[in-house]
Amino acid sequence: MTKLIIPSAEVTVQDVIGKGSFGEVYKAQYRGASVAVKTMKEVSENSLKRFMDEVLLAADLRHRNVVNMVGACWENDLMALLMEYCEKGTSEDVRKRKARRAAHQTRC
């Protein structure tokens, strides 16, 4: 497993909790709260633009049904977004659990 080092004494990275097309997602602690750290594995001019677009969008987006951005880091070969951590997993995880419960209830 790759060890992620965030250049801040306030972020303690724990485990990899997911992988996407752009990089890995880690669970971490930031100022006493659980956060998800989304990383980008390839730093290029194009990926930096996409990253900055996501930072700008996430910084302005506030809604009770949307995971909020906590912070961002970009330094040399690291680009990372700190997002609220969702204990129940992704929206896809929640949807699948609800579908399984509904299917089980209809059979019983």
Digit-by-digit pLDDT tens for the chain (108 residues) are 345 656 567 888 889 998 877 789 999 999 889 999 988 877 788 888 888 888 888 888 888 888 899 988 877 777 888 999 988 777 788 888 888 888 877 765
**Interatomic CA distance for residues 4 and 2, integer angstroms:** 6
Write down the pTM of the prediction.
Answer: 0.74
On whether the CB atoms of residues 32 and 19 are closer than 8 A, the answer is: no
DSSP designation for 66:
S
**Measuring CA to CA, how many Å separate 107 from each of 19, 51, 98, 103?**
34, 46, 14, 7
Per domain, the residue ranges of the chain are 11-107
- Residue 28's nearest CA partner among 74, 71, 78 is 71
Topology adopted by domain 11-107: Phosphorylase Kinase; domain 1 (3.30.200)
